[in-house]
């Protein structure tokens, strides 16, 4: 039979008094997580990591990591699994497009806009639009360049649509695959703090191609200088999105490998745009081989005007 | 003496007992007869849906009338659900084949630079419609797969009419005036197609993703219109 005293509610002193009474006792403190102010947090780390915090957006990355763990639980042979990749609203897609066209220096596209919700809608339809835009614009620009020439007969050039489709879809899906494989391999050797999933890389590449759509439409203008200026401008914009995304992922690695990786990314991007410009858009001011009229004294006179810049006849070389 | 009396009395009693039943006769075998069949009432409902007995003309005319009714619905797109409820793919097949056939004959000097071949038009229309349907279903649309294919296929009708008009105009000449006429006709029919299919399909999408679903439809009809506009006969 317990004593009546034991059954009475006993007041416990607060922790300080108890500890003073029995200094050897083990204590466990369960507190609210202390919010270290941001400047203090970055002071605790190396100074070089400050931009990483901004790039990572660590303010709510904890929440997004939790959310990422709760998504995508359906097995991959069900329709619901693929529906998780299309879980975007109109304003989200428009925001991501805006982020790729106006890259904010220092902000990581993936962390800022994708936030563990990569979608396949953007990459797929931006690539489709780009394919048809390049084919249609190329056709239109060739039409306007050769308009008025007597030997010219308009052709729709439908074959080029399939070539454009193959090129752009291969670029937008195979290059991310290779890059993801490469990053995974380097991750196993060097511990990186930033690593991307395959879908996030596909997302970045897909949205970075958006700026080429208005560029392709403006490439109809048949001036060589204008076209090259446009190309450099769009290459800078989309290249900067890619560089700012992937530089934190390779920065911890060997310096040369990091620079080589980023250099390869930019080089492939430039190859794509130069190749599209060269193949689908004829060089402006191409002079057809003019009939040569032999003059009286044997000198030849070329009937076409020579004050234009004469280009080589083969249309595939700028 | 007592047994004799008993015998006499029992005989007398038997006579009295059976006196009332003397004229009843029971025969040995009694035949039972009647009807087992259940009387049949009116026609059972299954007989009405069996179309095996009707003439072939009736079957074909019924399907043709359904296709024709849907054509009328596309040309005057109201928010009716007839197109969505009874979907069929005859109309889209006829339209696709006729459009692909009319886009033939636009040969060019070299094989590589000509217009689309028959198979390319076919593949673009059907593969494009399937991709758009998958896209709308993945974004959370409630329309069924074949209903969406049916709507997208039927809404190619204005563009087929535009192709017919373009071919007729090209018979008259291929100058700038004919190009302007063709441009106006194709643009008008493209707008009609897109608006008709959007009117049918937009309701089944979640409200904050409507633009994401309408844009691929716009791209699809734009590509078909481009193929029609750039058709140049040899």
At residue A294, what are phi and psi to the nearest 5 degrees?
-70, 125
**pLDDT band with cut points at 50, 70 and 90 for residue A173:** very high
Q: How far is CA B215 from the centre of its chain?
A: 27
Identify the domain containing residue B207 by its residue range: 87-104+115-231
Q: Which residues does chain A have within 8 Å of residue B106's beta carbon, measured at their own beta carbons? A: 156
3-class SS of residue B230: coil
- Residue in B114, B211, B222 nearest the CB of A155: B114
**pLDDT band with cut points at 50, 70 and 90 for residue A100:** confident
pLDDT of residue B173: 82
Q: How close B89 gets to chain A, by Cα (Å)?
A: 24
**pLDDT band with cut points at 50, 70 and 90 for residue B66:** confident
pLDDT of residue B83: 67
pLDDT of residue B98: 93
**CB interface of A with B, residues 75-94, below 8 Å:** 79, 82-83, 85-86, 88-91, 93
User: Does residue B53 sit at the A interface (CB-CB below 8 Å)?
Assistant: no
B-chain residue closest to A126, CA distance: B216
CB contact under 8 A, B215 and A125: yes
Decide if B24 is inside a domain.
Answer: no
Q: Is the pLDDT of residue A310 over 50?
A: no
Tell me the mean pLDDT in the region A174-190. Answer: 88
pLDDT of residue A132: 93
pLDDT of residue B35: 75
Q: How close A156 gets to chain B, by Cα (Å)?
A: 5
Q: A241 and A114 in contact (C-beta within 8 Å)?
A: no
pLDDT of residue A54: 44
Q: A169 and A199 in contact (C-beta within 8 Å)?
A: no
CB contact under 8 A, B211 and A155: no
DSSP output for chain A: ---HHHHSPPPPPPHHHHHHH-TTS------PPP---HHHHHHHS-GGGHHHHHHHTTTSHHHHHHHHHHS--S-TTSHHHHHGGG---HHHHHHHHHHHHSPPTT--HIIIIITT---SHHHHHHHHHHHHHHHHHHHHHHHHHSTT-TT------THHHHHHHHHHHHHHHHHHHHHHHHHHHHHHHS--S----HHHHHHHHHHHGGGHHHHHHHTTS--HHHHHHHHHHHHHHHHHHHHHHHHHHHTTS-HHHHHHHHHHHHHHHHHHHHHHHHHHSPPTTPPPPPPEEE-TTS-EEE-S-SSSPP--S-TT--
pLDDT of residue A56: 47
**CB interface of B with A, residues 61-120, below 8 Å:** 106, 108-110, 112-116, 120
pLDDT of residue B130: 94
Decide if B79 is inside a domain.
Answer: no
What's the rounded Cα separation, in Å, for the pair A50 and A43? 8
pLDDT of residue A236: 92
Q: What is the average pLDDT score of chain A?
A: 75
Q: Write the burial class of residue B174 (CB in 10 Å: 0-12 exposed, 13-18 middle, 19+ buried).
A: middle
Q: Is the pLDDT of residue A318 over 60?
A: no
Task: State ipTM.
Answer: 0.73
Which H or E run includes B7? helix B2-17
What's the rounded Cα separation, in Å, for the pair A210 and A298? 56
Q: Which residue would you say has higher pLDDT here, A32 or B99?
A: B99
**Mutation site, A88, A125, A157, A158, interface B, largest B CB count within 10 A:** A158
DSSP output for B179-205: HHHHHHHHHHHHHHHHHHHHHHHGGGS
What's the rounded Cα separation, in Å, for the pair A206 and A203? 5
Decide if B16 is inside a domain.
Answer: no
- Residue in B110, B212, B232 nearest the CB of A90: B212
**pLDDT band with cut points at 50, 70 and 90 for residue B15:** low
Q: How many residues does chain A have?
A: 318
**pLDDT band with cut points at 50, 70 and 90 for residue A303:** very low
pLDDT of residue B41: 56
Q: A283 and A318 in contact (C-beta within 8 Å)?
A: yes
Q: Which residue would you say has higher pLDDT here, A72 or B116?
A: B116
Tell me the mean pLDDT in the region A81-110. Answer: 85
A-chain residue closest to B231, CA distance: A156
- Residue in A91, A128, A156 nearest the CB of B114: A156
User: Does residue B202 sit at the A interface (CB-CB below 8 Å)?
Assistant: no
Decide if B22 is inside a domain.
Answer: no
CB contact under 8 A, A156 and B231: yes
Which H or E run includes B103? none
Which H or E run includes B154? helix B145-154
Q: B110 and A158 in contact (C-beta within 8 Å)?
A: no
Q: A286 and A313 in contact (C-beta within 8 Å)?
A: yes
Which H or E run includes B40? none
Q: Is the pLDDT of residue B2 over 60?
A: yes
- A204-216 exposure pattern, b = at least 16 Cβ within 10 A, e = fewer: bbbbbbbbbbebb
User: Does residue A31 sit at the B interface (CB-CB below 8 Å)?
Assistant: no
Q: Is the pLDDT of residue A174 over 90?
A: yes
pLDDT tens, A7-22?
Answer: 666 666 555 565 555 6
Work out how many CB contacts closer than 8 A connect A with B: 69
B-chain residue closest to A122, CA distance: B212
Decide if B193 is inside a domain.
Answer: yes
Q: Which residues does chain B have within 8 Å of residue A132's beta carbon, measured at their own beta carbons? A: 219, 222-223, 226
Q: Is the pLDDT of residue A73 over 90?
A: no
Provide the token pair at A231: 């190309």
- Residue in B110, B115, B216 nearest the CB of A156: B115
Decide if B56 is inside a domain.
Answer: no
List, in sequence order, every beta strand (DSSP E) within chain B.
Answer: none
pLDDT of residue A53: 44
pLDDT of residue B24: 65
Q: CA torsion angle for A308, A309, A312, A317 (degrees, to 10)?
A: -120
Q: B145 and B129 in contact (C-beta within 8 Å)?
A: no
Q: Which residue would you say has higher pLDDT here, B192 or A151?
A: B192
Q: How close B154 gets to chain A, by Cα (Å)?
A: 23
Decide if B191 is inside a domain.
Answer: yes
Decide if B211 is inside a domain.
Answer: yes
Quote the number of domains for chain B: 1
């Amino acid at each position: 039979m317990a004593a009546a005293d034991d059954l009475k509610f006993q007041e416990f002193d607060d922790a300080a008094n108890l500890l003073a009474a029995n200094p050897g006792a083990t204590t466990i403190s369960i507190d609210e997580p202390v919010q270290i102010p941001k400047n203090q947090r970055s002071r605790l780390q190396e100074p070089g990591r400050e931009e990483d915090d901004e790039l990572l957006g660590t303010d709510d990355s904890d929440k997004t990591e939790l959310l990422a763990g709760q998504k995508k639980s359906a097995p991959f042979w069900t329709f619901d699994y693929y529906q998780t990749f299309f879980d975007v609203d109109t304003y989200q897609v428009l925001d991501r497009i805006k982020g790729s066209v106006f890259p904010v220096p220092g902000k990581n596209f993936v962390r800022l806009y994708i936030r563990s919700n990569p979608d396949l809608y953007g990459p797929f339809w931006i690539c489709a639009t780009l394919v048809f835009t390049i084919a249609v614009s190329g056709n239109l620009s060739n039409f306007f360049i050769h308009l008025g020439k007597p030997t010219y007969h308009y052709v729709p050039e439908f074959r080029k649509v399939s070539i454009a489709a193959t090129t752009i879809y291969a670029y937008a899906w195979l290059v991310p695959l290779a890059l993801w494989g490469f990053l995974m391999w380097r991750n196993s050797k060097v511990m990186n703090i930033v690593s991307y999933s395959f879908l996030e890389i596909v997302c970045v590449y897909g949205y970075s191609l958006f700026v080429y759509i208005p560029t392709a439409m403006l490439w109809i203008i048949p001036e060589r200088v204008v076209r090259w200026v446009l190309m450099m401008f769009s290459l800078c914009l989309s290249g900067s999105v890619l560089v700012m995304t992937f530089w934190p992922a390779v920065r911890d690695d060997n310096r040369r490998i990091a620079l080589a990786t980023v250099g390869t990314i930019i080089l492939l991007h430039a190859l794509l745009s130069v190749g599209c410009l060269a193949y689908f858009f004829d060089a402006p001011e191409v002079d057809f081989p003019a009939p040569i009229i032999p003059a009286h004294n044997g000198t030849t006179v070329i009937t076409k005007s020579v004050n234009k810049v004469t280009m080589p006849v083969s249309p595939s070389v700028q | 003496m007592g047994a004799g009396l008993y015998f006499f009395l029992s005989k007398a009693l038997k006579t009295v007992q059976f006196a009332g039943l003397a004229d009843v006769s029971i025969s040995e075998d009694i035949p039972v007869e009647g009807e087992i069949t259940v009387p049949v009432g009116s026609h059972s409902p299954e007989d009405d849906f069996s179309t095996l007995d009707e003439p072939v003309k009736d079957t074909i005319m019924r399907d043709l009338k359904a296709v024709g009714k849907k054509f009328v619905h596309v040309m005057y797109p109201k928010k009716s659900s007839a197109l969505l409820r009874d979907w069929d793919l005859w109309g889209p097949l006829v339209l696709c084949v006729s459009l692909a056939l009319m886009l033939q004959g636009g040969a060019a000097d070299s094989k590589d630079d000509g217009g689309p071949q028959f198979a390319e038009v076919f593949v673009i229309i059907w593969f494009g419609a399937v991709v758009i349907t998958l896209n709308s279903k993945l974004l959370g649309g409630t329309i069924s797969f074949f209903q969406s294919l049916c709507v997208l296929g039927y809404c190619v009708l204005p563009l087929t009419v535009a192709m017919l008009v373009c071919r007729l105009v090209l018979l008259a000449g291929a100058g700038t005036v004919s190009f302007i006429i063709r441009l106006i006709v194709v643009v008008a029919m493209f707008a009609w197609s897109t608006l008709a299919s959007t009117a049918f399909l937009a309701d089944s999408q979640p409200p904050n993703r409507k633009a994401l679903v309408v844009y691929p439809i716009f791209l699809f009809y734009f590509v078909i219109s481009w193929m029609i506009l750039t058709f140049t006969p040899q």
